[in-house]
Structure 1
C-alpha cells in the first residue's frame, strides 16, 4: 500500500492484455473452453464473497448501518474497517480474471468499455480508500456489492453446465441488482 506502482503495473498489464495482447494471441486460435477452471474460479468467488458479506454484516451489526464520525476515532474500529476493506480490495484484484477469461474464450462482446472501466475503477477506488482514509461509509456498499457477487458468481458457476441453463431465468435480475448501488 505504500506506493501505487504495483497497482499501476497491474492495471497496465491488465489493459494491455485484454485490449491488445490477448486478442492478438487468440487471433489464430480456437477459444479455450476453461469450463472446469472457470467453474472452480466462480465457486471460489462465491465463497470469498460470502466471507466478505459476513465481515460486512458483522461490522454493520456491531457499529450500525450509519456510524458517527467519532466511531472511526477508536483504534479497534479503524482496524476492523481497514481489514475489511483490504479483503474487499483483494476481491477487486481477483475479479480482473473475469475479463481475461472472456478474452481467452473469445467472448469479445463481453469485453466492453464499461466492463473494463468498472473493474479498473473499483480496484483503484478501493486502493485509494485504503491508502488515504479507510472509511466506515464504504462498508455498506461493499457489503451490498458482495451480496450481488454471491448471486452473480453462483449464476456464472451454474451456467457452465448446459443442462442447467434452462433453469437460469434470473440473469436479467442480476444486472438490475448490480445497478442498485448506483441508485442508493
Structure 2
C-alpha cells in the first residue's frame, strides 16, 4: 500500500492523465471495437483501394512515440467530435423548452481547471524545450526515447482540447446561443482533430511552439473568464483577448513560413526535419483562424461602438 502511494506521488501530473485515458480506453473498447470493425469492414468492401491507401498512410505516418499513448485511434477521435456536435444540437433543442440554468459553480471549476492545466502545460513544455536545447523554430521531429517526455506534454495539450468543449456546453446550459457561433464551434472541434493529427505524426519538434504559446494565451483567457465568474472581472483584459489570440496565429504563421523556407528552400537535402505536411497544415489553418477571428474582432468593435452610442444618448 505504501509503495503504491509513493508511486502515485512520484508520478508527474501528465502521467496521471495518461493513466486516466488508458483506463477509459480499457472500459470503452469492448463496446466500441465491434462498431469500429463493422465500419472498417464496410469501408474496405466498398472502397478497397482508398481503404488500402489510407491504412498504409496511417501506418507509415504514426510516430512510434504516439503509438505508446492513449486516444490515438482516429475512430475514437471521430466519435468524440460527432458527440460534441450532437450534444450542441440536441442540447439547444432540450434547453429551448426550459429556463436557463445557473452554472456558476460549474464555470468556476471549469475555468480554474483550465487556468491550472494551461499553466502546467506552458511551463513543462517550455522547460522541456529549454532542457533539450530547442531553438525557436526549425526543430526536427525526434522519434527516439529522448523525445518521449515532450511527446507526453504535447499529447496532454491535445487531450486538453476535450475539456475545452465544456465552454460550449456551458453556453448551451445558459442559453447563450448567440455565443455559439460558427467560429466558436469550428475552432473547438477542428483544433481537437488537428492536434490529434499533429500528436499522431510528430508529438515533439516544432509542435512545442504552438502548444506552449496557445497554453500561455489560455492562461490569460481562462484567467479572465474565471475573474468574471467570481464577480471581479479584470475588465481591461477583455478587449485584448482576441488580440492575443490573433497575435499567436500570426506568430504560428511566421513559424510555418520560416520552416517552409528553412527545410524546403535552404536545406532541401536535410533528412532530419519536421514533417512538411504538418507545417503546411499549420499555415493553412492559421489563415482560416486569422480570417475568422479578424471578422469577429471587427464585429465586436462595432457592437461596442453601438452600445456606447446608445448609452451616451440615454445619458443626455
Aligned residue for 1:10?
80
Change (3 A) 1:81 1:107: same
- The within-5 A match list for 1:102-181 is 102-162=171-231, 164-165=232-233, 167-181=234-248
Q: CA deviation at 1:73?
A: 4.9
Q: Distance in 2 between matches of 1:152 and 1:73?
A: 33
Name 1:97's counterpart in structure 2.
Answer: 166
Per the alignment, residue 58 of structure 1 pairs with 127
Gaps of 5+ in 2: 1-70, 252-316
Equivalent pairs, count: 179
**Residue in 1 that maps onto 2:101:** 32
Bigger relative contact order, structure 1 or 2, given CA contacts below 8 A and separation 6+? Answer: 1
Runs of 4+ deviating beyond 4 Å: none
State yes or no: 1:82 paired with 2:142: no
Per-residue CA deviation, residues 89-148 of structure 1 (Å, 9 max, x unaligned), is 121111011011111101111111111111111111111112122241111111010011
Mapped to 1, the partners of 2:204 and 2:143 lie a distance apart of 11
Kindly tell me: are residues 68 and 136 of structure 1, through their superposed partners in 2, closer, same or farther at Cα, counting changes over 3 Å? closer
* Separation in structure 1 between the aligned mates of residue 139 and residue 215 of structure 2, nearest angstrom: 23
Equivalent residue, structure 2, for 1:182: 249
Output the TM-score relative to the length of structure 2: 0.54
Gaps of 5+ in 1: none
C-alpha root-mean-square deviation of aligned residues, in Å?
1.6
Q: d(CA) in 2 for partners of 1:40 and 1:68?
A: 36
| Cα distance in 1, alignment partners of residues 214 and 139 from structure 2 | 22
CA-CA distance at 1:57 after TM superposition: 1.1
State the TM-score, normalized to the length of structure 1: 0.90
Answer yes or no: is the 8 Å Cα contact 2:217–2:245 preserved in 1. yes
Q: Distance in 1 between matches of 2:104 and 2:139?
A: 46
Structure of greater Rg: 2
